[in-house]
Amino acid sequence: MNPFEFKNPTKIIFGKDSIKKLENEIPTDAKVLLLYGGGSIKTNGIYNQVKKALEKVNVTEFGGIPANPEYAVLMDALKIIKNENITYLLAVGGGSVIDGTKFLASAAIYDGDTPWDILSKNIRTEKGMPFGTVLTLPATGSEMNSGAVITREETKEKLAMGGPGLFPEFSILDPQVIASIPQRQLANGITDAFTHVLEQYMTYPVEASLQDRFAESILQTLIEIAPKILKDPTDYKAASNFIWSCTMALNGLIQKGVPTDWAVHAMGHELTALFGIDHARTLAVIAPSHYKFNFESKKEKLEQYAERVWNITEGSIDSKAHTAIEKTITFFHELGINTKLSDYTKDYDGTAEEIAKRFTNRGWLGLGEHQSLSPDKVEKIVKMTY
């Protein structure tokens, strides 16, 4: 087990009708900016529940944060925060709204030249404006971590930010929200969380037995609940395990004391930036090729994954490891998620070279758990997805 530090102060409020507990969490003298996305919360009842719980609080609203939260849109919200002397942010949405809110929590008190620096210079946020979340779409784990990813359409970039000042003060998780989520988003959420775990697990063994088993626990639970959720999103028990698995997949716990990879995300972000493919789907495109390309360095963990998660106990290490990759692809397919870039676009020619070039320009010369995944290897992996 590697050395680590772990602290996660976010308060989780989990359960049926928990949105009404909002009123206990936000100071009554706060000036709140309520942030949300495309407006589905107005049709599924969540908006009304939130407004009712905040009756006694001064609330301004900002809707329209898009999937892959867009810098230009967020800059409009930032103006409101400054002009209205907002003191507290409330994200009501999925990962995009929460990530956008994290950027705003940082930008609201950033005193450099331009908030873009926070992203382009990867400036760590030690302190941000306080904020809470009401999760409406489980997937990213953003409700219980301190990281965010922001997109800038103008430059076709998608960059990460974070810091200890960006943990939500609280997050409200009501499994009933699952009932109104479209199938496509449910499948994305399962795939996103599943891949988050893989990024923190599919590396090399360091005898971190407990972390490995926790990671496997999340994978097993996602596999178990996936067909139930897709069949019936009103299945409250399955929905509960779905939400909690997504949160635990990326709240920092399973990555402590182990090597992590994150190259799948790095490559996947580029596919979203270039083609607008859903984040989760880009991960399902990249992951299988990534594991095949890096087979030798990952095969011990692939074998452990094969045995413990997929019950593949017969055969050689190589055979078990390969079968586990195939099982993973089948799992994505059963969710209705395609796993080839060519399934999403016909304009894939040159994508691998473009991504490799971007990584080179950013100085990303060695990704992955061994810091050895150079741009030429990235190019090969992306080509395998055509």
Taking the complex as a whole, the smallest distance from the CB of residue 308 to a copy of itself amounts, in Å, to: 10
> What is the DSSP pairing of strand 170-173 with strand 88-93?
unpaired
Taking the complex as a whole, the smallest distance from the CB of residue 256 to a copy of itself amounts, in Å, to: 7
Structure tokens at 103: 């950027």
Taking the complex as a whole, the smallest distance from the CB of residue 323 to a copy of itself amounts, in Å, to: 22
Taking the complex as a whole, the smallest distance from the CB of residue 265 to a copy of itself amounts, in Å, to: 23
3-state DSSP assignment of residue 170 = strand
Q: Are 371 and 266 in contact (CB under 8 A)?
A: no
The residue range among 5-13, 27-35, 189-197, 312-320 that interacts with a copy of itself, by the rule CB under 8 A, is: 5-13
Taking the complex as a whole, the smallest distance from the CB of residue 261 to a copy of itself amounts, in Å, to: 21
Residue of 203, 168, 224, 189 lying closest to 367 (CA atoms): 203
Phi-psi region of 314 (alpha: psi -120 to 50; beta: other; left: phi over 0): beta
When asked if residue 231 is in the footprint of a copy of itself (CB under 8 A), the reply is no
Q: Are 293 and 381 in contact (CB under 8 A)?
A: yes
Nearer Cβ to a copy of itself (256/383): 256
Among residues 225, 306, 321, 341, the one that binds a copy of itself under rule CB under 8 A:
225
Q: Are 113 and 104 in contact (CB under 8 A)?
A: no
Q: CA 221 to CA 215: how far, in whole Å?
A: 10
Nearer Cβ to a copy of itself (89/249): 249
Among residues 48, 114, 209, 372, the one that binds a copy of itself under rule CB under 8 A:
209
DSSP 27-89: -TT-EEEEE-SSSHHHHSSHHHHHHHHTTTSEEEEE--PPSS-BHHHHHHHHHHHHHTT--EE
When asked if residue 139 is in the footprint of a copy of itself (CB under 8 A), the reply is no
Taking the complex as a whole, the smallest distance from the CB of residue 221 to a copy of itself amounts, in Å, to: 5
With a CB cutoff of 8 Å and minimum separation 6, the contacts of 112 are 118, 123
Q: How far is CA 332 from CA 180, 196, 266, 285, 378, in A?
A: 22, 14, 19, 10, 22
Residue 226 backbone dihedrals phi, psi, to 5 degrees: -50, -55
Residue count, binding to a copy of itself (CB under 8 A): 40
Residue 152 β-bridge partners: 157
CB atoms within 10 A of CB 254: 26
Among residues 240, 255, 282, 294, the one that binds a copy of itself under rule CB under 8 A:
240
When asked if residue 176 is in the footprint of a copy of itself (CB under 8 A), the reply is no
CB atoms within 10 A of CB 372: 12
Among residues 31, 51, 184, 256, the one that binds a copy of itself under rule CB under 8 A:
256
Residue of 288, 274, 264 lying closest to 385 (CA atoms): 288
Nearer Cβ to a copy of itself (174/379): 174
The alpha carbons of the chain give a radius of gyration, in whole angstroms, of 20
Binding mask 6-45 for a copy of itself (x = CB under 8 A): xxxxxxxxxxx-x---------------------------
Among residues 30, 151, 217, 288, the one that binds a copy of itself under rule CB under 8 A:
217
Among residues 72, 109, 210, 317, the one that binds a copy of itself under rule CB under 8 A:
210
When asked if residue 244 is in the footprint of a copy of itself (CB under 8 A), the reply is yes
Residue of 255, 275, 249 lying closest to 382 (CA atoms): 275
Nearer Cβ to a copy of itself (177/378): 177
Nearer Cβ to a copy of itself (33/144): 144
Among residues 120, 220, 260, 374, the one that binds a copy of itself under rule CB under 8 A:
220
Taking the complex as a whole, the smallest distance from the CB of residue 215 to a copy of itself amounts, in Å, to: 9
Among residues 90, 137, 208, 352, the one that binds a copy of itself under rule CB under 8 A:
208
Nearer Cβ to a copy of itself (25/343): 25
Interface residues toward a copy of itself, by CB under 8 A: 1-16, 18, 175, 207-211, 213-214, 216-218, 220-221, 224-225, 237, 240-241, 244-245, 248, 256-257
